[in-house]
Amino acid sequence: MAIRSTRKRSEHYVNNKQFLAAVIELRDFFRDGEKLGHENHRVTIKYFKEHPDRIVAKKFRRCYEYLGSCFSKIGNHLAYKPNFVNYMYREDMVSDGIENCIQYIKNFNPEKSSNPFAYFTQIIHYAFLRRIQKEKKQMEIRTKIIEKSGYDEVFSVDNDYGNSSDYNSIKDAVQSKLYQ
């Protein structure tokens, strides 16, 4: 008689039901902050972290920290997608995504969708794309500055320490990258 082993189901890195409950709870905190007259979410966060009622403050901190870890997990896992894995500024992309999630948490409507994982994954994905565009613009500015300043100023070679063939190979590599 063969014993049949049941395959363990792997746990997802974010439990959608707990995530939904925490999103609704934090959204309610932010709505309470709006009722109190807070102009943005930063003021609301500071208010509830330092709330005079310790139970409310603890409840807020627990919810806020759980959501922060969920946003961080989503961002880090999304950063390993083949689309984003080779960028040097992945940490900036993840932090932009987390910031956008906190900023747009009030816009999540649980009556419309019960899948906050998909909603926040999309927010982080578009934050990644915006960061890539910003970095590309910065790279274009850098290359134009190098182009306008001239290669002789950028690559100064001292004959005692450097080799002119090294200088030429670096110059050729930069030129080939600029004119591709």
Residues 82-140 have pLDDT tens digits of 988 888 889 999 999 999 998 898 899 999 989 999 999 999 999 999 999 999 999 89
pLDDT over threshold 80, residue 76: yes
Same domain, 43 and 103: yes
Mean pLDDT of 144-160: 63
Same domain, 42 and 108: yes
Same domain, 79 and 107: yes
Q: Is 155 left (phi over 0), alpha (psi -120 to 50) or beta?
A: beta
pLDDT over threshold 60, residue 175: yes
> How is residue 164 written in tokens?
């002119």
Same domain, 115 and 173: no
pLDDT over threshold 60, residue 156: no
Same domain, 131 and 163: no
| Residue-number span of the structural domain to which 61 is assigned | 16-137
Instruction: Determine what percent of the chain is predicted with pLDDT higher than 70.
Output: 82
**Has residue 38 been placed in a domain?**
yes
pTM for the complete prediction? 0.72
Q: Is 37 left (phi over 0), alpha (psi -120 to 50) or beta?
A: left
- Give the pLDDT score at 92: 93
**Has residue 118 been placed in a domain?**
yes
Mean pLDDT of 133-154: 79
Scanning 36-163, the segments in alpha helix (DSSP H) are 41-49, 54-79, 90-103, 116-149, 151-154
With CA atoms as reference, report the closest residue to 121 among 14, 43, 30: 14
**Has residue 7 been placed in a domain?**
no
With CA atoms as reference, report the closest residue to 117 among 164, 87, 75: 75
pLDDT over threshold 60, residue 75: yes
- Give the pLDDT score at 155: 55
30 confidence band (pLDDT: 50, 70, 90): confident
- Give the pLDDT score at 3: 66
Same domain, 77 and 163: no
**Has residue 175 been placed in a domain?**
yes
Same domain, 61 and 127: yes
Same domain, 26 and 100: yes
In angstroms, how far is CA 180 from the centroid of its own chain?
A: 30
Q: How many CB atoms lie within 10 A of CB 177?
A: 9
Q: How many CB atoms lie within 10 A of CB 48?
A: 23
